[in-house]
Amino acid sequence: MKNHKLLIATGNKGKFQEISSLLGDYQFSCISASDYNLEEPIEDGNDFAQNSLIKAKYYGNKTNLLALADDSGLCVDVLDGDPGIHSARWAVDDSTGKRDFNLAFARIAQKLQEKAIDLQNDKITAYFICNLTIFNPINNKYKSFEGRVDGVLTFPARGDKGFGYDPIFISKIFEDKTFAQIDPSKKESISHRTEAFKKFSSFFGSADFADLLNNN
């Protein structure tokens, strides 16, 4: 039985779909943050965990609902982990304020070329991080879980599935296909979000989880 209302605290449709799919078999009835007309919170944390907590607290306190937030991004080793927590910002077109991931791909390619990286022949290692935080606004308790998936970047971008940086990322397991070229269920079998979610789901049933849900 779906006995807990859970706000999926994200405005990103790609994330919402993946998180809803991961939560499918569990005890939550999912509500989208997009159903509320809220401004986006300012994500001024120094890492994924801090930003994930900022979002979970913001949306949880605004709606009075148990909230699950996701802060995630792509980290490129040779760029010292960039774009990292700035992954969403690297896709913003300054002239329109809208997101265009082709811009983000071009920005990464340019930074790599400035470091004399050969986009076709060098192995450009990278990883995605996902930090999930669940926050209860009634008792102020929260818990965070982090996942990672390693791979390499490829240029030009390929594929039309997935979202965000998926068209330039190839996980070690799917050797030549980007995350945007494989079936979403295959991405779900290994992704950073799934890794974080596995840790989250192993928390279900624990005394700490019962404590987090306890509003008395």
| Residues identified as active-site | 71
Give me the residue whose beta carbon is nearest to ligand ITT. Answer: 164
Residue 73 makes contact with ligand ITT by CB under 6 A: yes
Q: Which stretch binds ligand ITT (CB under 6 A): 8-16, 19-27, 108-116, 134-142?
A: 8-16
Q: Which stretch binds ligand ITT (CB under 6 A): 68-76, 150-158, 170-178, 201-209?
A: 68-76
* For ligand ITT, the closer CB: 136 or 171: 171
* For ligand ITT, the closer CB: 156 or 214: 156
Residue 58 makes contact with ligand ITT by CB under 6 A: no
Residue 195 makes contact with ligand ITT by CB under 6 A: no
Residue 163 makes contact with ligand ITT by CB under 6 A: yes
Residue 165 makes contact with ligand ITT by CB under 6 A: yes
Question: SS3 letters for the chain?
Answer: CCCEEEEECCCCHHHHHHHHHHHCCCCEEEEEHHHCCCCCCCCCCCCHHHHHHHHHHHHHHHHCCCEEEEEEEEEEHHHCCCEHHHCCHHHECCCCCCECHHHHHHHHHHHHHHCCCCCCCCCCEEEEEEEEEEEECCCCEEEEEEEEEEEEECCCCCCCCCCCCHHHEEECCCCCCCCCCCCHHHHHHHCHHHHHHHHHHHHCCCHHHHHHHCCC
* For ligand ITT, the closer CB: 112 or 129: 129
Residues lying near ligand ITT in the complex (CB under 6 A) are found at: 10-12, 15, 43, 55, 70-73, 87-88, 91, 128, 162-166, 191, 193
